[in-house]
Amino acid sequence: MPETIVVASDHAGFPLKEKVKAHLEQRGFAVEDLGTHSLEAVDYPLFGHRLAEAVASGRFRRGVAVCGTGIGVSIAVNRHRGVRAAVAWNETTARLSREHNDANVLALGSRTLDHDEAMRILDVWLDTPFAGGRHARRVDEIDTGSTGPR
């Protein structure tokens, strides 16, 4: 059974979200689309929170959130405990968001990224494992709020 990846966007992110869905399906993933489903203006926090709740609940292991820049939706998503959204603007930031931060949500900007580049970013993000080790302690500190030795 293929992994299901949850996706969501606002109106600005809608065109890129549709490309993300097709790309994920082409790679063999199942996709759960939480909206929006058109170019009609909507508020990005609503869709970011929907996606974050789906990941935080454990229903989905990973998600992709899209808005005009990726920034606004990532801020909304990151309000949820256990969800780590990273805005990636190139393949390096996508790789490092997985290796070092164990990002479980990728945030993309539909208006700021070439859509072909966005697919390359998505591929790198999907294919990069979390490095663990010293990074695991740091990721744990995100949700616990603990501050270790400085």
46: CATH? 3.40.1400.10
Q: How far is 116 from 48, CA to CA, in rounded Å?
A: 23
pLDDT at 139: 82
How many domains, the chain? 1
97-105 average pLDDT score: 96
Residue at 148 is within a domain: no
> 80, 100, 115, 135: which one is catalytic?
100
Within-domain flag for 70: yes
Q: pLDDT band at residue 16, thresholds of 50, 70 and 90?
A: very high
* Residue 5 DSSP class: E
Q: What is the pLDDT of residue 26?
A: 98
The predicted-structure confidence for 123-144, as pLDDT tens digits, reads as follows: 999 999 987 788 888 888 887 7
**How far apart (Å, rounded) are the C-alpha atoms in residues 84 and 19?**
23
In the set 11, 23, 49, 67, the catalytic residue is 67
Is 80 annotated in the active site? no
Annotation says 100 is catalytic: yes
Domain ranges, residue 10: 4-143
Q: Which pLDDT score is estimated for 150? A: 47
